[in-house]
Amino acid sequence: MQIQRLQPILGAIALALLCLPAALATSATAHEGLVGRANPDFPAPDVDPFYKPSGNLAAARRGQVLRRRSFPSVFAGPDLEKSFHLLYRTEDTFNQPEATVASIFVPAKPSSPPRILSVQAWVDSNSPDCAYSWAVVKDSGSGTAIENFLDPGTYIKWALSKGYYVVTPDFLGPKSTFIAGYQSGQAILDGIKALIRDQNLPKDTAVGMVGYSGGAHATVWASTLHEKYAPELNIVGAAHGGTPIDPKNTLLFLNGGHYAGFAAAGLIGLKDTYPKLDAYIESIITDKGRTVLSRFKQAGYCVLQVSGSESDGLNIFNYTTVKDPLDNPVAVEVLKRESLLESYADRELPVPKFPRFLYHALGDDIVPYNDEQQYVKDQCARGANIQFSTLLLANHLVGVFAGVAPSIDFLQQAFEDKTPNVACGSVLPALEISLDSNKADDVMGKGVADQARAGRDKAEGLFGGLGSSHRRRFVRDRRGRN
């Protein structure tokens, strides 16, 4: 099979990416090469007054633009006409008004009819400084800027090359509440509204959504909330992979492991979202535990720091005064409310009406494969339209690149109302589109595919010779899971 022939290539990419956290922690030169120098005209979000709303938010409508500015984009080129930041009104987990920022990219040659792609980057951080809106500013110095030459940047470049408008919302909100589902989904939907209003587009403009990992979590929540929260939006399809479906299972899967920092960041995100959970955790956490968790909220503590060696093996349960901190009514209530597993969630889950393309690495070492597989089964049993593909012999980081071409292929089909009529949950050969294949050139456009390959090679070139301990760990983990 084609997918088997891809494994040496994808494995090499995964090894290179696995080296990123350690490499950035030890190589200032490499980090500078990734994020660029700081732009004094666009300071970090925590000190930039643009991010702070004024006036009566409650009087504003969902998706209403509160403030607007242009910015120099890292994606400047012949396909981009202009780029804007929009501060817009949305709602938090408890439907209280708040404001967040979306980056808007206007194509040089808009398609007719107009189309919109909402790209959700995997920010995965508790620091507002890691917001993607800052990362897309040229020479911002953002620690999230690495994603500009990985999958989020590829989706943006592809959409602009097709003449589609692009919106990338800061869906974690002003407090960067990582893994809070209602917060993320509502911010995405209101960000799309803000773009439509700002650019005076037809209300029924076709919208696609895409994301991976933490961006996939936000995308699946936007899909889930669409019919109730923003039914007026004409969402025609969504593609996402490596999707965290259930916060409890994901936390237990990560805790004490190599990527335990994500478990800590998710716990902090929910703690900052739910006051009752915050009070409960504060009542059981030790002083040393507070110190450990405090580093995740430091300025500039972005995804590469969260996933880095500093948190390798971290067991957050060791910093509490109780044996099982999840065995508590408050924790259970929050985890059930934030779950999309039908067997555990506290409500009947909606079934989005538009077609979706989901994929997941069978050997995912960051997000549980079984949860997404079960989610697909449950949704299909209730009439969903989902194409689901399993990445064989792959881990989570392999999926960063492996899902890009097939997701773009699906999104183009969705925009043209030509998604194939297949049995829900079927495994299709679409994921055999390698970045190095001629089919990728056809699907993505050769220019975008070349840029994606260059981004992949940049990651491998910067870090491929580093991190031998990460290489050994990858081989050991793969043997253990096979």
Query: Could you tell me what percent of the chain has a pLDDT over 70?
Result: 86
172-226 pLDDT per residue, tens: 999 999 999 999 999 999 999 999 999 999 999 999 999 999 999 999 999 999 9
Is a pLDDT exceeding 50 seen at residue 299?
yes
pLDDT attached to residue 421: 85
Q: What is the pLDDT of residue 37?
A: 55
Is residue 463 very low, low, confident or very high in pLDDT (cuts 50, 70, 90)? very low
Task: Name the active-site residue from 258, 396, 434, 470.
Answer: 396
Rounded CA-CA distance 242/398 in Å is: 10
Is residue 321 within 8 A of residue 286, CB to CB? The reply is yes
- Could you give the CA distance from residue 46 to residue 174 in angstroms, rounded to a whole number? 9
Res 422: pLDDT: 87
Instruction: Answer yes or no: 396 catalytic.
Output: yes
Task: Give SS3 for 168.
Answer: strand
Token couple for 218: 């936000």
CA-to-CA dists, residue 338 to 93, 180, 219, 269, 429, angstroms: 10, 7, 14, 12, 32
Identify the residue with better confidence: 230 or 461.
Answer: 230
pLDDT tens, 362-411?
999 999 999 999 999 999 999 999 999 998 878 898 888 889 999 999 99
Is 287 a catalytic site residue? no
E-strand ranges in 224-307 read 234-241
When the candidates are 3.40.50.300, 3.50.50.60, 1.10.260.130, 3.30.420.40, the CATH number that belongs to 249-335 is 1.10.260.130
Predicted local distance difference test score (pLDDT) of residue 478:
35
Mean residue pLDDT of the chain comes to 88
Is 213 marked active-site? yes
As a whole number, mean pLDDT of residues 245-255 equals 98
| Residue from 190, 364, 365, 378 carrying the catalytic annotation | 364
Task: Work out the pLDDT band at 459, boundaries 50, 70, 90.
Answer: low
DSSP string, 106-123: EESS--SS-EEEEEE---
The per-residue pLDDT for 26 is 35
β-pairing, 356-361 with 206-212? unpaired
Give 296's pLDDT tier (boundaries 50, 70, 90). Answer: very high
* Catalytic residue, candidates 103, 213, 311, 407: 213
Q: Average pLDDT of 332-340?
A: 98
In this structure, the dihedral spanned by the alpha carbons of residues 459, 174, 240 and 336, taken in order and rounded to 10 degrees, is: 130
Residues 268 and 170: their CA atoms lie apart, in Å, by: 18
- DSSP character at residue 366: S
- What's the pLDDT score for residue 457? 76
pLDDT in tens, 122-181: 999 999 999 999 999 999 989 999 888 889 999 999 999 999 999 999 999 999 999 999
Beta bridge partners of 387: 357, 426
Stated pTM of the model: 0.89
Q: What is the pLDDT of residue 11?
A: 45
Give me the sign of the Cα torsion angle 69, 448, 402, 140: negative
pLDDT value at position 397? 84
Q: What pLDDT, on a 0 to 100 scale, did the predictor assign at position 29?
A: 35
Q: Which fold has domain 2-246+349-481?
A: Rossmann fold (3.40.50)
* pLDDT at residue 13 is higher than 70: no
Please indicate whether residue 395 or residue 413 has the higher confidence score (pLDDT). Answer: 413
Provide the pLDDT for residue 428: 62
- Residue ranges covered by each domain of the chain: 2-246+349-481, 249-335
Within 10 angstroms of residue 256's Cβ, the number of other Cβ atoms is 15
